[in-house]
Amino acid sequence: MRVLASILVLSCTALLSCAQGLASPTCPEEQDTKQLPPADPAVCDALDPVVRSPRATHLKDYETNLNQYLDLNCHRRLDKGWKVDKHIRDTGTWIGTYQGGQWTGTYNGTHAPVLVWYSPEMYRWLKANRSADGTPSRTAVEPVPDGAMIIKEMYTAPAAACGSIDRNGSSRSRVAWPS
């Protein structure tokens, strides 16, 4: 009886732990074309100082330049010191329910799951002003430097749906994980 109860508990635990990934078997954002690095680095180099100085241009012109910068994936520049999270992450809980032979779920994140990119200045600031556990350091915190950027690429919930994408980018991948 004890063995049967243990098997039942382990089975339920396994089902619940994989529920999130089963809710969406594929990554909706997955594409055939690799997205890293940007196709036209020269355009990105020209846009970089513009998007780092939002007060230097009119809002309409700034938004046009920022849209082009993001459309070209100019932030995906590991060669320019940009850093990226290791995984797409949820911004809140995802509650899975098994009913009628299939999994469904409710996403309760602040916004859609994200893959976060950090400009070199932002990454240096975070390293200097955050402790290993993510809390502010006990020393005086410097202000975030002008021109520092955090870019959140948003994906369909739950984040686990894109968790099986090849990190080396050798298969189909919009995520285009850096090596």
* pLDDT (tens digit per residue) in 43-98: 999 999 999 999 999 999 999 999 999 999 999 999 999 999 888 888 888 888 88
Q: Does the pTM exceed 0.85? A: no
Q: Of 118-122, 160-164, 172-176, where does the model show the most confidence? A: 118-122
Cβ atoms 22, 96 nearer than 8 A = yes
Q: Locate 123 and state its tokens.
A: 């990454």
pLDDT tens-digit map of 124-143: 998 888 777 767 666 667 89
Per the document, the length of the chain is 179
Torsion of CA 38, 72, 125, 55, to 10 degrees: 140
